[in-house]
Chains A and B, each alone.
Chain A
Amino acid sequence: MDDVRVPISSDLDLVRAREQGRVLAGQLGFQHSDLTLIATAISELARNILRYARRGEIVLQQAQDSGVPGIVIIAQDEGPGIPDVNRAMEPGYSTAGGLGLGLPGVRRIMDEFEIVSEVGHGTVVTVTKWKR
């Protein structure tokens, strides 16, 4: 299966990205609440791109770990970057007037979470959900 790339530059793209995520996750065998968790994680990550970097991309990939299928969601932008990543992961932290649940929430509902951010260069968040 090829990677699915969804450019993010408007709030319509956000809806598109979570729909694409749901379709791919469905093809990989995810069901019910997992589909909703995946679509919601994509929604939060795509909104962060829109809010902080104005534009970026969501990349959806399939993964495999000793026969167990998974979905990888990569949210990347070339925005301002996050000066203090640790602080951004604290519940309640937000600089754009959100609830601040974005990143910590996404980490809670996914199995794996990685964030690389460089001030002035952008942010890449990579999350994975394994099919149980």
Chain B
Amino acid sequence: MAVPILKQGPFLIASIQSALTDTDLVQLRDALVGQVGSYRSRGVIVDVTALDVLDSFASRTLRDLAHMVRLRGAETVIVGIQPEVAFTMVRLGLTLEGVATALDLEEGLFYLNEKLRSTQQTTQ
């Protein structure tokens, strides 16, 4: 099942609606890494609120996504990790190291806007 990707100003928002297969996740990663270029986006938000499982494969794919997007010059923030999912991830040792996370979509947008503003300030 393909994840809809919304373009919102300088950002891309991928809002996962239901459980994803490994293939879906890899497709999402590749689509976002590609679209950062086609839309010249500065940031990516992946909303995982609907995911009830973030296992080792999903965690690794999200981490790869964030690192690949960063290599393309944009920032990624993962939003909406549910409390039970966070609990399980910690028990499994899946920390999403080096990946920005935020509580929800609103906080994610705030994070990316701040990032964007600070880069604009430093380049002025």
Contact = CB atoms under 8 A, between A and B. Distances in A.
Tell me what chain B mostly uses at the interface: helix, strand, loop, or mixed. helix
Q: Provide the main secondary structure of the chain A interface.
A: helix
4 closest cross-chain pairs (CB), A and B: A36-B84, A11-B21, A105-B92, A33-B84
A39 B84 CA distance: 11
A39 B58 CA distance: 13
B19 A40 contact: no
Contact of A47 (B19, B54, B57, B93): B57
A99 B60 contact: yes
Interface string A17-60: 01100100000000011011101100110010000000000000
The interface size bin for chain A is 20 to 34
Contact of A14 (B21, B59, B82, B83): B21
B94 interface: yes
B110 interface: no
23 contacts: A12-B21, A14-B21, A14-B22, A15-B21, A18-B53, A33-B87, A36-B52, A36-B53, A36-B84, A36-B85, A37-B87, A37-B91, A40-B92, A44-B56, A47-B22, A47-B55, A47-B57, A101-B92, A105-B56, A105-B91, A105-B93, A108-B92, A109-B91
B8 interface: no
A32 B84 CA distance: 7
Nearest to A13: B21
B91 A108 contact: yes
Interface of A: 11-12, 14-15, 18-19, 22, 32-33, 35-37, 39-40, 43-44, 47, 91, 98-99, 101-102, 105, 108-109
A37 B94 CA distance: 13
B23 interface: yes
Interface in B16-40: 19-23
